[in-house]
Structure 1
Amino acid sequence: MFSINELSLNQHLPLSAIVVTSVISATTQRNNQLNENLTILLEINLKLTNINHKLNTTVKNLTVQFDKLNKSCAALKRNNLTEKMQDMENDCYKVYAAYFYQKTWDEAQADCKGKMSELAVINNEREKRSLWCQEYISEKSQALEEHNGYWIGLRVVHGKWMWVDGSNLTDISWIRRATPPEGHCAISVQNQGLKSVSCGDRHAWICEKKALSLTPRND
């Protein structure tokens, strides 16, 4: 016969097994859920990492583009010259003036030649008055402050004032400094006429291009 203790143990074994089984099952389910959650979180983290990488790449590209735009704007500020044209008889004048982009006389003349022209030659009194009285000359002269004045095609060559077309300055009264020092060139200054300054100074400049004239053929 079974003792009382043995009967009691046999009665409790099935209940203990059920409890243990239930605990194991719940733990397994919880672990599975945790694993699923971990997998989802890892996928989200991977996606966020990829997005972050793409954003960093976009930022780098935008930074490069922004730098290029800044450089382009700076270049345009240096090189964007204000141009105005005036037709006078058979000549075309262009004024090149930008505060941050002045040139020496030689540089200005080279720029004009690159545009199939030369620094302006004032070869008669009418042109002299007209050139000084242009409204854009007045506007530019005021804007340029201490850098006012425009290079024209007049400089000292072997002790004489000479135009770039090879002709001499015949009317010395046109320029304030009649005794020409070597290394000096002339600028046109608003309300001051022509002024002698060092050719190495930097100023705005005026190019002159002869207009093409068509002569009819006589057959």
Structure 2
Amino acid sequence: MGVCVYLATVHESTARELNQVKSHQKVLLEQNHNLTNLKNKLSSDYQNLTVQFNNLTAISTALKNKTTTLTAENHNLTSLNEGLRKERENLTELIKNMEKTWNELNVSRSQWSIDAYCPKKAGVRNCTSCQKGWSHQSPSCYAYNNPASSNQRNWESAREDCRTKNSDLTVVPDQTEKDYVKKISPTTEGIQGYWIGLRAVEGRWKWIDGSDLTNQ
């Protein structure tokens, strides 16, 4: 009788322990399942973070390159701006000098005109229609330039020489002026003629005022 009670007690204890083990095993399986899910989630998060990190790294590299490019462009623009500033200063100085020279030339030209047309004798100026050495024939003033052979010029240079004297080669529109020009242009040995304001333009003779030659 005592032995049977003992055996029953042992059997009940073993079943209880088995249930506890199964219950514990179930808990462990759930924990393992949860840990597995957590592991998978962490792995997925890690992959996402890795991708984001790589993207951020690429963006950071691109921004560094852009910063380097912008820095270089800014340096170039700064250098260009400095060059433009210096060029503006040079142009301003050049304009200032040109204005000064122009004013001096105007004063000099005005003084030349006064001295040429109103020469001073014994402290008194006497003005004439033409500058000294020129002949008056209404409505113009004439001069015959007869340089030495070494200083004789072609047509273009002769005209430029006239312009330096505030004049130009003569235009001869009629017989009266033609006779006068011939009169003040004496024949000199070795010289076959003289320059006047007439030239051939595209196969036609024209005066320097643009008119055609009509009086041969």
**Structure 1 length-normalised TM:** 0.41
Q: Quick check: which has more Rg, 1 or 2?
A: 2
Indicate the structure with greater strand content: 1
Indicate the structure with greater helix content: 2
> Could you say which structure has the greater relative contact order, defined with CA pairs below 8 angstroms and 6 or more residues apart?
1
**Structure 2 length-normalised TM:** 0.41
